[in-house]
């Protein structure tokens, strides 16, 4: 939540800029956005009409680059590099690696060091831990614990990344599952409360019957 | 609202909160222990 | 309006001090109003003592037949059962604290003392009674509050009692016994011998608009803490103690039952006692209370498990 508050203003700023730019200036804007240290979301900029217009133009690579930062990982960039994406600046490289950690943290709660080192192209544990602490935890995009003994990173919180359109259905499905489960739980609690009330009523009645009978027996005695 | 979508996605990614086998074992152990206490208490009451 | 209670009316307090209405009627004070701030400080302090008793003082004022507790502060004293009179260092601390408060514009006087009974209920023991009687002789108006931090966690609500003692030799009219509470076997005698020497007051709470605002801000944090804690875990020792206490009581009841069977017919006094709740009925009640608290704890675990662990992507 905090990360969203922090980057909301930055997103506004870039979206307003994008509305009055096109072509080369837009390319420069995208470069600036993908290098910004506090920006980790690009859907709003992608949704801007001027940015969409880059499709099919000679700046289409800029659009591809923005999509990479919105949805992709460092591996995607290395694989797609053969497709001629422009070389990334050091800030962009760091940003893409931070986003890669986010994607990994979304899928698993315990991330082995080996997998992390491979995914973000880091050669040793020390460098990896420095990156996780300085570039990820201090940036507020993830929270968790570094387990040096088991060589893994335990994720407690990870900020959300931009969603691909096709992921929406899956998310809606999960949410409705959760809602269904919660409704069922509430219903069963209601039923249990009714059951408990009924049992206590029955108990009281039974208690009274016993007392009446005791009285009768006393009288007859 | 992209921001809201991202937050929902982050929240959903954290569920299920605990799904390790060890947790299930401990949970069931605790569950049964408490039910046993309840059972013994009913015995005592009777 | 809600904040009016925080205004300190010196004239009214002076008038009440001069009239001393509490000297006419031992039951004069009937109500206690505790501020959210004082309650939180006392409960957190009591909880921090773990299984050791801690004590502190309360500041406030009187308002008709109610004592209003505005604030509270801890005393550097532990184990009150052994040293219920705060020794020299605590006295010095008390005086300093009160004077500094006056300078800081907090005009309320000390109106009572609180201490904790971890795990064995809210009542006044023999030493507590004598301490409170002494205080009521020289420091009126003075209130005694007892907090049980362990049962607070177990029951999920604050276990607190406010009491005032009767003058020496005063015989209170037969009044209904206050809310039933489980007294451990090793404390029963201390409880029983003195329980007629004091009475309990009704406790209500109040909070200022600033309190409301601060508590609202803390609400999320409170919920996160509540959700991520489990009374089943936190109070394991207490429950174990309760169950072993129960077993001892059962043992005792069984012995007594054997004696009565050996004894001749029931005498009238014995029959009268039977009308009071029999010991076995009390034990049954204790057992049900333990069970209910355990089942509550388990229910919250099960609900959390269903809500947060059964979601599948």
- pLDDT tens track for A190-203: 999 999 999 999 99
Q: What does the mean pLDDT of chain C come to?
A: 85
Q: Is the pLDDT of residue C83 over 60?
A: no
Beta bridge partners of A155: A144
- State the pLDDT at residue C261: 59
Average pLDDT over residues A1-16: 87
Interface list for B 1-46 with A (CB within 8 A):
2-3, 5-15
Contact C311/B at CB under 8 A: yes
From the CA of B10, how many Å to the nearest CA of chain A? 4
User: Which residues are CB-contacts of A96 (< 8 A; sequence separation ≥ 6)?
Assistant: A68, A69, A72, A73, A74, A77, A88
Averaged confidence pLDDT in chain A: 90
The pLDDT of residue C94 is 82
pLDDT value, residue A126: 92
Chain B contact set for A162 (CB, 8 A): 2, 6
Res C223 pLDDT > 90: no
Model pLDDT, residue A196: 94
- Alpha-carbon C188 to chain mean position: 16
Task: Provide the ipTM.
Answer: 0.80
C150-205 confidence digits (pLDDT tens): 989 888 889 999 999 998 888 887 665 566 778 888 888 888 888 888 999 999 99
How many Å apart are CA A67 and CA A73, to the nearest integer? Answer: 10
Element containing residue A193 per DSSP (H, E)? helix A167-220
CB atoms within 10 A of CB A47: 12
Which residues from chain B sit within 8 angstroms of residue A159, using beta carbons? 6, 10
C313 contacts A189? CB cut-off 8 A:
no
pLDDT at C294: 87
How many angstroms separate the CA of residue B31 from the nearest CA in chain A? 18
**pLDDT for the residue numbered C264:** 45
**Three-class SS string for chain C?**
CHHHHHCCCHHHHHHHHHHCHHHCCCCCCCEEEEEHHHHHHHHHHHHHCCCCCEEEEEEEEEECCEEEEEEEEEEEEECCCCCCCCCHHHHHHHHHHHHHHHHCCCCCEEEEEEEECCCCCCCCCHHHHHHHHHHHHHCCCCEEEEECHHHHHHHCCCCEEEEEECCCCCCCCCCCCCCCCCCCHHHHHHHHHHCCCEEEEEEEEECCHHHHHHHHHHHHHHHHHHHCCCHHHHCHHHHHHHHHHHHHHHHHHHHHHHHHHHCCCCCHHHHHHHHCCCHHHHHHHHHHHHHHHHHHHHHHHHHHHHHHHCCCC
Distances in Å between the Cα of C23 and the Cα atoms of A121, C13, C27, C141 are 83, 16, 9, 10
Q: How far apart, in whole angstroms, are the C-alpha atoms of residue B23 and residue B20?
A: 5
**Six token digits for residue C144:** 């005694």
Task: Indicate the Cα dihedral angle A177, A178, A181, A187, nearest 10°.
Answer: -120
- pLDDT over threshold 90, residue A55: no
* Distance (Å) of CA A158 to CA A40, A125, A140, A153, B11: 12, 21, 9, 12, 9
pLDDT, greater one: C268 or B9: B9
Give the position of tokens 């009071």. C276
Whether residue C309 and residue B17 make contact (CB cut-off 8 A), yes or no, is: yes
Tell me the mean pLDDT in the region B27-43. Answer: 86
Percent of chain A with pLDDT over 90: 67
Å between A174 CA and nearest CA of chain C: 5
> Model confidence over A102-152: pLDDT tens digits?
999 988 889 999 999 999 989 899 999 999 999 999 999 999 999 999 999
B15–A178: do the CB atoms touch at under 8 Å?
yes
Which has the closest alpha carbon to C39: C205, C152, C163, C156?
C205
Among the partner-chain residues A170, A177, A189, the one whose CB lies closest to the CB of C311 is A177
Nearest beta carbon to residue B6 from set A41, A47, A175: A41
Chain A contact partners (≥3 CB pairs within 8 A):
B, C
Q: pTM of the full predicted structure?
A: 0.74
- Please answer yes or no on whether C306 and A181 come within 8 Å at the CB atom: yes
Segment A2-11 mean pLDDT? 87
Residue C307 to residue A182, Cβ atoms within 8 A: yes
Measured between alpha carbons, how far is A153 from A129 in angstroms, rounded to an integer?
9
């Amino acid at each position: 939540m905090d990360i969203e508050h922090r980057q909301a203003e930055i997103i506004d700023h870039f979206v307003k800029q994008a509305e009055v730019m096109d072509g080369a200036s837009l390319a420069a804007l995208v470069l600036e956005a993908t290098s910004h240290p506090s920006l980790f979301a690009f859907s709003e900029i992608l949704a801007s009409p001027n940015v969409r217009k880059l499709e099919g133009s000679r700046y289409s690579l800029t659009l591809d680059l923005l999509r990479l930062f919105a949805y992709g990982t460092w591996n995607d960039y290395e694989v797609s590099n053969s497709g001629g994406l422009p070389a990334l600046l050091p800030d962009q490289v760091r940003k893409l690696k931070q986003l890669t950690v986010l994607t990994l943290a979304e899928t698993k709660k315990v991330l082995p060091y080996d997998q992390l080192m491979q995914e973000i192209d880091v050669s040793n544990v020390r460098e990896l831990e420095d990156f996780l602490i300085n570039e990820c935890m201090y940036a507020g995009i993830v929270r968790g614990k570094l387990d040096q003994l088991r060589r893994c990173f335990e994720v407690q919180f990870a900020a959300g990344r931009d969603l691909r359109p096709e992921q929406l259905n899956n998310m809606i499905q999960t949410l409705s599952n959760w809602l269904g489960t919660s409704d069922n739980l509430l219903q069963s609690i209601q039923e249990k409360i009714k059951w408990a009330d009924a049992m206590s009523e029955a108990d009281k009645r039974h208690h009274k019957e016993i007392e009446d009978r005791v009285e009768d027996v006393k009288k007859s005695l | 609202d992209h921001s809201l979508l991202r937050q929902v996605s982050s929240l959903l990614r954290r569920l299920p909160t605990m799904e390790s086998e060890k947790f299930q074992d401990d949970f069931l152990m605790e569950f049964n222990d408490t039910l046993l206490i309840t059972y013994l208490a009913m015995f005592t009451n009777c | 309006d809600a904040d009016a209670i925080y205004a300190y009316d010196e004239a009214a307090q002076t008038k009440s001090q001069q009239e001393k209405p509490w000297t006419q009627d031992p039951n004069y004070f009937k109500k206690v109003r505790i501020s959210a701030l004082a309650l939180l400080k006392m409960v957190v302090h009591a909880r921090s003592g773990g299984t050791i008793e801690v004590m502190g003082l309360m500041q406030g004022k009187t308002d008709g037949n109610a004592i209003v507790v505005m604030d509270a502060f801890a005393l550097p004293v532990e184990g009150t059962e052994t040293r219920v009179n705060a020794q020299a260092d605590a006295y010095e601390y008390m005086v300093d604290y009160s004077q500094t408060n006056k300078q800081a514009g907090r005009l309320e006087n000390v109106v009572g003392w609180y201490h904790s009974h971890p795990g064995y209920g809210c009542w006044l023991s023999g030493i507590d009674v004598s301490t409170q009687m002494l205080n009521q002789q020289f420091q009126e108006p003075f209130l005694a509050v007892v907090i049980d931090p362990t049962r607070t966690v177990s029951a999920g609500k604050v276990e607190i009692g406010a009491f005032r003692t009767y003058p020496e030799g005063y015989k209170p009219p037969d009044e209904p016994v206050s809310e039933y509470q489980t007294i451990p076997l090793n404390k029963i005698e201390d409880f029983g011998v003195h329980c007629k020497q004091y009475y309990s007051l009704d406790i209500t709470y109040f909070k200022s608009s600033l309190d409301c605002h601060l508590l609202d801000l803390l609400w999320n944090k409170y919920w996160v803490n509540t959700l991520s804690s489990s009374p089943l875990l936190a109070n394991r020792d207490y429950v174990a103690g309760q169950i072993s206490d129960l077993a001892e009581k059962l043992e005792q009841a069984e012995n007594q039952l054997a004696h009565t069977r050996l004894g001749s017919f029931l005498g009238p006094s014995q029959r009268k006692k039977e009308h009071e709740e029999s010991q076995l009925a009390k034990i049954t009640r204790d057992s049900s209370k333990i069970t209910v608290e355990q089942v509550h704890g388990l229910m919250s675990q099960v609900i959390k498990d269903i809500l947060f662990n059964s979601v599948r992507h």
